[in-house]
């Protein structure tokens, strides 16, 4: 697998330019500042391109899983379901397709490991679990680590729960604010069973989520950052409409996380972006991007 710090090209859905013009301007300015190559995907039906685009294994070798998870099959989300093969840019890659259903947001990668939530079992219920894991490992040429899906997340994605820091260490959300204690214990236990050390990162619940959204707000989830090469674009959340949470200053929470990231990622540049309006739709920087190592690199 190609870990995030080895990638050098990032794609966004072209929809982001019109649906979220101010947020796109902030993101684009960071990319231009650091001379990060970026492209736009056309014929997409949502901005969540991580989920429907293929997973790069090596060079021009990509695996396309089926973008057909249980939540996206609901009628109310039909108009938001992108068909990967309809995306013009998809045609330029060497794609190996599989019948296995798996969103890109549920694949957290390192060089030789991927972390996937157990939602993959429910979405592929006709497979025996051992055979399913063996097939995914064969396709991705990596060890698959299964974690329990977060019970309050309808997508069942792993990318808001855990990220690789290095091959032996992962970043996870802090237990201090975690009401699902039984789930959290199983989650951490599973990672430690695979000899992964865990570093906790603060998290908080959005006090102002959109009331008409089934998918919960991603505001407060710092782990949903973009890492591309030596650049990290980290979401921060202090804004005019979000200044305190549970009596604590959001600006102070931001500062704490920024300090932690800058201390941990000393060989990286850490840039900050506030995209709360996108976050309240259910995702942040990792969700709205598809970063790869350019096949001509």
Distance CA 126, CA 123 (A): 9
CA-to-CA distance for 279 and 196, rounded, in angstroms? 28
Q: Tokens for 17, please give them.
A: 């330019």
How many domains, in total, are found in the chain? Answer: 1
C-alpha to C-alpha distance for 99 and 190, rounded to whole angstroms: 27
For Cα atoms 17, 18, 23, give the angle at the middle one, nearest 5 degrees: 55
The enclosing H or E element of 122 equals: helix 119-123
pLDDT at site 155 = 93
> Which pLDDT belongs to residue 178?
61
pLDDT confidence bin for 296, thresholds 50/70/90: low
**258-275: per-residue pLDDT in tens?**
999 999 999 999 999 999
Burial class (CB in 10 A: 0-12, 13-18, 19+), 104: buried
Backbone phi, psi, residue 162, to 5°: -155, 145
**Which pLDDT value is given to residue 180?**
84
Which segments within the chain are labelled E, that is strand? Answer: 9-13, 37-41, 55-58, 61-66, 95-101, 108-109, 113-117, 143-147, 162-166, 169-173, 197-201, 226-228, 231-235, 244-245, 248-249, 269-273, 290-292
Residue 87 counted as domain residue: yes
For Cα atoms 184, 186, 191, give the angle at the middle one, nearest 5 degrees: 95
Of 105-119, 144-158, 168-182, which gets the smallest average pLDDT?
Answer: 168-182
Does residue 175 fall inside a structural domain? yes
Q: State the CB neighbour count (10 A cutoff) for residue 21.
A: 9
Is 297 among the domain residues? Answer: no
Cα distances (Å, whole numbers) of residue 199 to 11, 285, 297? 29, 20, 32
pLDDT digit string (tens) for 123-163? 999 999 999 999 999 999 999 999 999 998 999 999 999 99
What dihedral angle (degrees, nearest 10) is formed by the CA atoms of 8, 9, 12, 13? -150
* Other Cβ atoms within 10 Å of 44 Cβ, number: 24
Task: For residue 214, give the nearest of 102, 109, 71 by alpha carbon.
Answer: 71
User: What's 219's domain CATH number?
Assistant: 3.75.10.10
Q: pLDDT, tens digit, for every residue of 207-261? A: 999 987 778 999 999 999 999 999 999 999 999 999 999 999 999 999 999 999 9
pLDDT at 107 (0 to 100): 98
How is residue 109 written in tokens?
């990668």
Confidence of residue 47 (pLDDT cuts 50, 70, 90): very high
Query: Residue 106: what are its φ and ψ, rounded to 5°?
Result: -105, 20
Q: Which two tokens stand for residue 196?
A: 């992964």
| Residue range(s) defining the domain that contains residue 259 | 4-292
Question: Mapping DSSP to helix (H, G, I), strand (E, B) and coil, where does residue 275 land?
Answer: coil
């Amino acid at each position: 697998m190609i870990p995030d710090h080895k990638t050098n090209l990032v794609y966004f859905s072209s929809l982001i330019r019109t649906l979220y013009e101010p947020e796109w301007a902030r993101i684009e300015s960071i990319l231009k500042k650091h001379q990060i190559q970026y492209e736009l995907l056309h014929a997409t039906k949502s901005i969540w391109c991580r989920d429907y685009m293929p997973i790069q294994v090596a060079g021009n070798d990509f695996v396309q899983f089926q973008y057909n998870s249980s939540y996206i099959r609901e009628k109310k989300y039909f108009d938001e379901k992108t068909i990967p093969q309809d995306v013009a840019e998809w045609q330029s890659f060497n794609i190996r397709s599989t019948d296995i259903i798996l969103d890109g947001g549920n694949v957290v990668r390192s060089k030789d490991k991927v972390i996937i939530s157990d939602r993959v079992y429910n979405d592929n219920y006709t497979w025996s679990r051992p055979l399913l894991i063996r097939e995914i490992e064969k396709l991705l040429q990596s060890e698959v680590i299964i974690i329990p899906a977060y019970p309050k997340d309808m997508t069942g994605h792993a990318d808001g729960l855990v990220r690789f820091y290095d091959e032996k260490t992962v970043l996870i959300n802090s237990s201090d604010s975690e009401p699902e204690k039984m789930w959290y214990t199983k989650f951490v236990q599973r990672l430690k069973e695979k000899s992964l050390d865990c570093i906790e990162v603060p998290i908080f619940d959005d006090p102002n989520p959109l009331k008409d959204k089934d998918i919960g707000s991603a505001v407060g989830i710092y782990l949903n950052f973009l890492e591309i090469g030596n650049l990290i674009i980290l979401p921060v959340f202090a804004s005019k409409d979000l200044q305190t949470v549970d009596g604590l200053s959001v600006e102070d929470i931001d500062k704490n996380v920024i300090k932690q990231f800058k201390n941990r990622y000393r060989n990286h540049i850490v840039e900050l972006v506030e995209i709360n309006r996108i976050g309240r739709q259910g995702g942040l920087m990792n969700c709205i991007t598809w970063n790869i190592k350019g096949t001509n690199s």
